[in-house]
Amino acid sequence: MEFPVPSSPRHRSSYSSPRRTWLLSGVTGVVVGLSVGAIVALSGVVLPSGTAHADDSSAVTVKASDQDVDIADAPAPDLAVTVSQTRGLVSQGLTISWTGGKKSELPSTITGGADFLQIAQCWGDDPASSTPSPDRTTCQYGGFSSPGASRDSYLSSIDDVAPEDMDYTVPSTNFAVPTYTSIPFRAVTGETVASVKDGQHNESVDVNQNPFFTKYTTNEVKWIGSSDEGTGSAKFEVQTALQAPGLGCGAPITAADGTKSGRGCWLVIIPRGEKDPGSAGIDQSGLFYDTWKHRIAVKLTFNPLGVNCPIGAAERPIAGSELAAAAVASWQPALCNADGGAVYSISTGADTDAALAANGTAVAPLALTSLPLPAEASGGVDNLTYAPVALGGLSIGFAVDRVPSTVEGTPQKVIDSAGLPFSSLKLTPRLVAKLLTNSYIDSLPTGADRSHVGYKSPADPGKNARNVTLDPDFLAINDPEWKYMNVISPSVADLLEPQGRSDAATQLWNYVLSDPSAVAFLNGEPDEWGMIVNPWSSTSDEVVQTVNKDGKGLVLPRDSFPKTDPIDQAATDNGGEVNLVTWRPYVNDLDSSAYLTLRGDGQTLGFWNPTAATPKYDKAVRSLPGQQSVLGLTDTSSAARYQVVSAELQNPAGSFVAPTVDSLTAAAAAMTANASQSQVYTFDPKSEAAKAAPTAYPLAMPVYAAVNRTMDDADLRKDFAAFIRYAATDGQSPGDTLGELPRGYAPIPSGWEAQALAAADIIESGRLPDTSTPAATPAPAAGTTALTPAQVQAGVTVSRPVGAVSGAVPAAAIISAPETTVDPTGAVAAPLLGPATPADPAGGPISAAVPASVLAGLGAAGAVPFLSRIRRRT
């Protein structure tokens, strides 16, 4: 489901540095390095304090009647299109929805379909237009060279050519050579790809497969259909200059005053009717004027690419969890442009490795982690101070379009929905277990021996379903419409999974193991319909030994997603050897998984190419909207960035919940302290708190910044503390503007902020709070209202009155505060505090109280008065 930014911005907190407008004073390039070397492009532009952030208010609705110059002949005169976001764009996804269309027909090999929409991205303005409008020669369109979706077409007669297209047309010279029209592509670089020049057709130039885009890279949507009611929705990939150099969107443009903005672009929606001029159907380019004149265009504003930080700024490394990468990318420009600010570069990888490196006194990157340092990795000594800086989680994204069965009994309404996307999909822990263990037939190579999962032949397939959408276990909990579907693809038989180790993997396995039916399935017990676990991935020694006499059961939980089945499809004259990784490859990271899901690219194996220099399997072309079937494991921020629809997961209370700001916040309210490290809280699906939280999203995860307070480099610790302070305060304001909290995260609860600020003070000073004298319970400050226990539990907070005593806090606000606890490592053992939701229990373990230990730590470190950071939440 979509992950909206809250409409009301959270109050920004202030810490020791006053807020100001940061101006650029020199330029240096810096990137956020991901585990695969990908670059997250950032901007050095930081808006002044108080500037409204771009959020859902940048959504735009446009009508055909407002833009169409020939509305009387429009294919869909009542069309109204809404674009989910038009400002602050990066490489991401958009949701495009509409009303007023007409019931669509699917494309075929000879026609593009009927009464559908096409979507493209363009970079330039039309100089001939009297109103702001894109020039069709600047649109990334035609990459698939299919009927109705190419840049060029042969026409039966010159009479079918609009006057506006004559400059791009070569008239027929004889019966054997038909009229040819081709719309050139003008790149932002100044280069032009044209197959018609000076009235001649240059057949050596292919305007559809050119140096700037191909069928593998283009983001165009050549067909997206409307329902019986004329409504619909599509996900669209927005590309910047990094992905589409021919468009140049987001390339930095420097104004006279030195400020930078990103090059703007256009989003174009092209409605198609039943037939093109002179044709029996839709077989001509959507760029031809008779069609193009009906387009709807929306201006897109991009964040400028690149990071601009002061020359000579200190560079500070961060390592660990990918879950916080998007937030760090957004915070970086604000941090490096602050007075004395540092440049923070993040390298994502195994959380445990980052935490272990940070655990010693030697200089090491700040670690980002969601779980405490394992005792077996640290020798039982955890010297880290943990500061919560983000609240996100894992998501199982999907892009599955309807493929109705043609068997008798399928309702006509279902048949008519062919090609339209599903917007809801539910999964249980047991279904996730099946996807993670290659237990569905189609997750294994088709030419290999699959008898160990019960498959013998198409006539005798056994009891394991081909994929999750055909599993009776899945059909029992999902919309009845799914039972009429015939979705067949390896990319819905398992998940796009990231390689490597992570706390996220551990948490997903913990979720699976929280369900007794999933545990039984993994241990070899068939489900109610007879489906069995792939024995190579069973947790039972006895089951594994049916295929490997010396084998041992899979040990869970674990921090990776092993492909344990050694299945092998032997090489033949018609194809090379295929193993499980070749058949279902890993993706590089969680971000890649969301991106591929948005594009409908399930990473399925392509066709064998015996003519290649080294014979090999080619890359399969991604599935286009209307034909997509992909499941991908990603994180909530990446799912939000790419507008990937997330599955609803069954939580420990039995409810099916999708990741949203509210469900992440509800999960935070049900988190409990880790048994081995009191500073770290997690959503434990086996806990009573989790079982009593029906609105909580079960894969919510906190991200902690972890540093050893005795690290040798005091300047480094100071900068790490500055990072934590910004992340926990100003960095929690939701929005699309750089410096704010990106979509896909929930703002951290106030108690988390308190713990983070106390931890930052300890890290910077290298000293423990002075707890020799117990902190007295402060009296209520003048002008404040004491809170009842119920209000405290509900998360009600108060604002600091003018003239309030520094550090004073209402007595009622520490009703549920624990005793002061400071462990020998210097860590503040504070609970993660957050508001309960109305549907959650009133007596849970989380409250909005401010622990006395946190107040003591803040006071000892000379922090800014805490009450200036207390907010009333709405």
pLDDT at 803 over 60: no
Q: How far is CA 546 from CA 194, 524, 540, 542, 569, in A?
A: 63, 11, 10, 7, 20
Listed in sequence order, the DSSP H helices in 295-336 are 325-336
Residue 522: which of 543, 502, 495 has the closest Cα? 543
pLDDT digits (tens, 9 = 90+) for 31-81: 333 333 232 332 223 322 222 333 456 999 999 999 998 999 999 999 999
Instruction: Tell me the average pLDDT across 707-729.
Output: 97
Angle of helix 852-860 relative to helix 750-765, nearest 10 degrees, comes to 40
CATH class of 32-44+306-394+651-869: alpha beta
* Rounded-to-integer distance, Cα 382 and Cα 680, Å: 12
Instruction: Tell me the average pLDDT across 186-213.
Output: 95
User: Considering Cα of 736, then 742, then 747, then 752, what sign does the dihedral take?
Assistant: negative
- Stronger pLDDT, 464 or 834, i.e. the higher one: 464
Determine the distance from the C-alpha atom of residue 448 to the mean position of all C-alpha atoms in its chain, rounded to a whole number: 34
- The encoded tokens of residue 638 equal 């990446």
* Maximum average pLDDT range among 9-18, 433-442, 820-829: 433-442
* Rounded-to-integer distance, Cα 837 and Cα 693, Å: 9
Going by the DSSP 8-state scheme, the letter that residue 32 receives in this structure is E
Q: How far is CA 348 from CA 502, 638, 870, in A?
A: 10, 14, 32
Q: Position of tokens 């237009």? A: 129
Q: What are the sequence ranges of the domains in the chain? A: 32-44+306-394+651-869, 56-153+214-300, 395-650
pLDDT digits (tens, 9 = 90+) for 148-174: 999 999 998 899 999 999 999 999 988
- The encoded tokens of residue 46 equal 């930081």
Helix (H, G, I), strand (E, B) or coil at 221: strand
Instruction: Tell me the average pLDDT across 514-533.
Output: 98
Q: Say if strands 296-300 and 265-271 run parallel, antiparallel, or are unpaired.
A: antiparallel
* Rounded-to-integer distance, Cα 670 and Cα 845, Å: 7
Q: What is the pLDDT of residue 815?
A: 25
* Rounded-to-integer distance, Cα 496 and Cα 596, Å: 9
pLDDT at 1 over 70: no
pLDDT at 175 over 90: no
- 751 touches 830 (CB < 8 A): yes
Going by the DSSP 8-state scheme, the letter that residue 814 receives in this structure is G
Residue 702: which of 828, 830, 832 has the closest Cα? 832
Fold of 56-153+214-300: Immunoglobulin-like (2.60.40)
For 188-218, the DSSP string reads TTS-EE-SEETTEE-TT--SSS-SS--TTT-
Q: What is the pLDDT of residue 771?
A: 60
pLDDT digits (tens, 9 = 90+) for 847-864: 333 333 333 333 333 332
Summary mean pLDDT of the chain: 84
Helix (H, G, I), strand (E, B) or coil at 390: strand
* Rounded-to-integer distance, Cα 276 and Cα 180, Å: 15
- 626 touches 224 (CB < 8 A): yes
Measure CA of the first residue to CA of the last residue in the chain; give whole Å: 23
Q: How far is CA 6 from CA 86, 237, 340, 551, 871, in A?
A: 17, 23, 32, 51, 16
* Rounded-to-integer distance, Cα 460 and Cα 811, Å: 71
* pTM of the predicted structure, to 2 decimals: 0.81
- Widest Cα–Cα separation across the chain: 101
Alpha-carbon Rg for the chain, nearest whole angstrom, is 29
β-bridge mates for residue 347, sequence order: 319
pLDDT at 323 over 90: yes
- 247 touches 265 (CB < 8 A): yes
pLDDT digits (tens, 9 = 90+) for 632-648: 999 999 999 999 999 99
* Rounded-to-integer distance, Cα 416 and Cα 235, Å: 21
Instruction: Tell me the average pLDDT across 736-763.
Output: 95
- 287 touches 57 (CB < 8 A): no
pLDDT at 18 over 90: no
Going by the DSSP 8-state scheme, the letter that residue 1 receives in this structure is -
For 835-862, the DSSP string reads PPPTTS-TT-S--S---HHHHHHHHHTT
* Rounded-to-integer distance, Cα 326 and Cα 745, Å: 9
Q: What is the pLDDT of residue 772?
A: 57
- 385 touches 827 (CB < 8 A): yes
* Rounded-to-integer distance, Cα 224 and Cα 399, Å: 13
pLDDT digits (tens, 9 = 90+) for 90-139: 999 999 999 999 999 999 999 999 999 999 999 999 988 888 899 999 99
pLDDT digits (tens, 9 = 90+) for 232-244: 999 999 999 999 9
pLDDT digits (tens, 9 = 90+) for 404-457: 998 889 999 999 999 999 999 999 999 999 999 999 999 999 999 999 999 999
CB < 8 Å & 24+ apart, contacts of 243-246: 243/91, 243/217, 243/219, 244/121, 244/140, 244/212, 244/213, 244/217, 244/219, 245/187, 245/188, 245/189, 245/212, 246/123, 246/140, 246/185, 246/187, 246/188, 246/189, 246/211, 246/212, 246/213
- The encoded tokens of residue 238 equal 């927005």
Q: Position of tokens 């982690």? A: 369
pLDDT at 223 over 90: yes
* Rounded-to-integer distance, Cα 700 and Cα 682, Å: 8
* Rounded-to-integer distance, Cα 595 and Cα 612, Å: 28
pLDDT at 249 over 50: yes
pLDDT at 781 over 90: no
Q: Say if strands 80-83 and 92-99 run parallel, antiparallel, or are unpaired.
A: antiparallel
- Other Cβ atoms closer than 10 A to 493: 28
Residue 716: which of 388, 351, 344, 331 has the closest Cα? 344
Angle at 255 between CA 251 and CA 259, to 5 degrees: 80
* Rounded-to-integer distance, Cα 465 and Cα 755, Å: 48
User: Considering Cα of 857, then 859, then 862, then 868, what sign does the dihedral take?
Assistant: positive
Q: What is the pLDDT of residue 13?
A: 36
pLDDT at 366 over 60: yes
Spatial neighbors of 309 by CB under 8 A, at least 6 apart, are 26, 27, 28, 30, 44, 333, 336, 337, 341, 343
Amino acid at 23: L
b/e 77-110 (16+ beta carbons within 10 angstroms → b): bebbbebbbbbbbbbbbbbbebbbbbebbebeee
Residue 119: which of 219, 215, 186, 207 has the closest Cα? 219
